[in-house]
Amino acid sequence: MSKNRPVLDASQLKEIALRLLGRREHSTYELRSKLLARGGSFELVSATLDELTSDGYLSDSRFTEIAVRARLRTDDGPIKIRAYLSQRGIIDSLIKHYLPSDQKFWLERALKLDQLNCMKRSISPQEARTHEAWSIRSRLLKNRGYPANIIRQVLESEPD
């Protein structure tokens, strides 16, 4: 049984959108989905999004920049960040613009994350070379969204 929601008018849609944007940045795709789910017609939702974009309230570029910064603070890797942004309808050119592409940058982050993980788990430099430790260390980096070539470099590096 589906709910029969009344179709929202333009002012109601704008009010809902501004309330949502007041809480956090949204991508155009996210906001479109939320407004349609709340009962907006496709035409009115599109017009509302166009108005919000032209007024500067809605920006996929700003959303991408903020999302990348937030994901970097949680030590996510490039694969996980890219997937997060893609799921929110961000186009590849914006992702490429805001997501660092320097392999050295990602390697340094992965090394730091691995070092913290080893300290947290009390894995000594000698134990870090065991098969079991490699499995634990690689799984953490993989789950955080680091690519295989970076993980391999981290595991083959000399632990501190």
Q: How far apart are CA 1 and CA 156, in angstroms?
A: 57
Q: How far apart are CA 46 and CA 57, in angstroms?
A: 14
Q: Can you say whether residue 157 is alpha, beta or left, with left for phi > 0 and alpha for psi between -120 and 50 degrees?
A: beta
* pTM given for the model: 0.88
Q: How far apart are CA 90 and CA 27, in angstroms?
A: 7
Whether the per-residue pLDDT at 2 is higher than 70: the answer is no
10-63 residue pLDDT tens: 999 999 999 999 999 999 999 999 999 999 999 999 999 999 999 999 999 999
What token pair was written down for 46? 């599109």
